[in-house]
Amino acid sequence: MTDTRLTPLAASLPSTIPFVAPESMEALRGAAFDARLGANELSFGPSPNAIRAMQDALSGIWKYGVPENEPLRSALATHLGVMPDALTIGEGIDGLLGILVRLYVGAGDAVVTSDGSYPTFNYHVAGVGGVLHKVAYKGDFEDPDALIAKAHDVNAKLVYLSNPNNPMGSAHSAETVQAMINAVPKDCLMVLDEAYTEFAPKSTQPQIDTSDTRVIRFHTFSKAYGLAGARIGYGISHPDIVSGFDKIRNHFGVNRVAQAGALAALHDAAYLAETLQTVAQGRIRIAQIAQDNGLTPLPSAANFVTIDCGQDGDHARALMAALNARGVFVRMPGKAPLDRCIRVSVGLPQELDVLAERLPLALGDIA
């Protein structure tokens, strides 16, 4: 029963878990997955230096973390060539998006995103009573022109773009993204989700300019740095925007050991380079497996490959279910026409072996 004391907004919201965890699916099916390829995690794990740093930091876990997230914040600032006050660090990009919408979106305010893009952003917008306006993808790409046009039309407070895009793996050029930033309406803030940016070509990354108040960018340690379970993401923006986060965030919310792990991961450039190479090879392997089975892999700038299964959403959903039933955890886009695809994260070589073995079987299951 809904608690009658909830605010009208809270009462209107559903109680949901946005994504079912693979562990929950494993509990339901009564067996572990043989290949965990559904959550865009880095199966290779983080830098051994990060693991070591976290082991060392465990002896201090009885202490609260530092609310400014120092020295991580300053190290990130140096790494990015910005000032520390242009950075806000929080419990993953998810956590930071939740704060951002509270800062910029009141009940009834308009927010623009793409139909089929990141559901957790939409979840947070709904959580503050914002009104989502969704524009269609243009092929397998988010459509900057349509997003900007809609932002003007509806007087949007925020307009969201992910680059590279999840769930499609597509990425726009730096020039295209910069042109979108330049076109953001005066009273609107652009949310540039770059969770997967490390995997993408440099040519997709506009110059970071923290004197520009039109955009806030989000990066994370969950993807290329292999620390999804640590919960550390960060926002990069003009200091006037960043300082807003200190109005409402959970200042002591980041795990102290995770702070140490992220710092060590950041400093291991060699491991990151190795990761990017391994992931690039994994994308090629997944694409080959898809083609071997008559499916069409989409080009990807991220750590996953989205595979066009050539039919409609029901077909792709059936294939996903068949793969899951055969021990291969994958996910897929939620909205047509993107939902003709399944999405496969780069996993360990032996996990991709499992995929190669089970994909034809799963296709047989649903034939």
Within 318-347, the residues that bind its own copies by CB under 8 A are: none
Q: Which residues, in sequence order, are CB contacts of 353 under 8 Å at separation 6+?
A: none
Bridge partners (DSSP) of residue 304 are 345
Q: How far apart are CA 328 and CA 323, in angstroms?
A: 5
**Total number of residues that touch its own copies (CB under 8 A):** 86
95: contact with its own copies by CB under 8 A:
yes
Within 26-55, the residues that bind its own copies by CB under 8 A are: 36, 39, 41-46, 51, 54-55
Within 64-83, the residues that bind its own copies by CB under 8 A are: 64-68, 70
Q: Which residues, in sequence order, are CB contacts of 26 under 8 Å at separation 6+?
A: 32, 33
211: contact with its own copies by CB under 8 A:
no
Closest CA to 282 of 333, 324, 227, 224: 224
When the beta carbons of 65 and 313 are compared against its own copies, the nearer one is 65
261: contact with its own copies by CB under 8 A:
yes
Q: How far is the CB of 149 from its own copies (least distance, A)?
A: 19
Return the residue of 73, 76, 87, 92 that touches its own copies, per CB under 8 A: 92
**128 with 106: CB under 8 angstroms?**
yes
Within 6-25, the residues that bind its own copies by CB under 8 A are: 6-10, 13-19, 21, 23-24
152: contact with its own copies by CB under 8 A:
no
276: contact with its own copies by CB under 8 A:
no
Within 239-258, the residues that bind its own copies by CB under 8 A are: 240-241, 243-248, 250-258
84: contact with its own copies by CB under 8 A:
no
151: contact with its own copies by CB under 8 A:
no
Q: Strand 87-90 to strand 233-236: parallel, antiparallel, or no bridges (unpaired)?
A: antiparallel
Return the residue of 86, 161, 190, 230 that touches its own copies, per CB under 8 A: 230
297: contact with its own copies by CB under 8 A:
no
296-297, strands of its sheet edge to edge: 296-297, 304-308, 341-345
Q: How far apart are CA 60 and CA 43, in angstroms?
A: 27
Beta-carbon-side half-sphere exposure of residue 217 (alpha carbons within 13 Å): 24
| Backbone angles phi and psi of 106, in degrees to 5 | -95, 170
164: contact with its own copies by CB under 8 A:
no
Return the residue of 35, 86, 87, 98 that touches its own copies, per CB under 8 A: 98
When the beta carbons of 122 and 205 are compared against its own copies, the nearer one is 122
Cβ neighbours of 39 (radius 10 Å): 17
224: contact with its own copies by CB under 8 A:
no
103: contact with its own copies by CB under 8 A:
yes
Residue 64 amino acid letter: Y
102: contact with its own copies by CB under 8 A:
yes
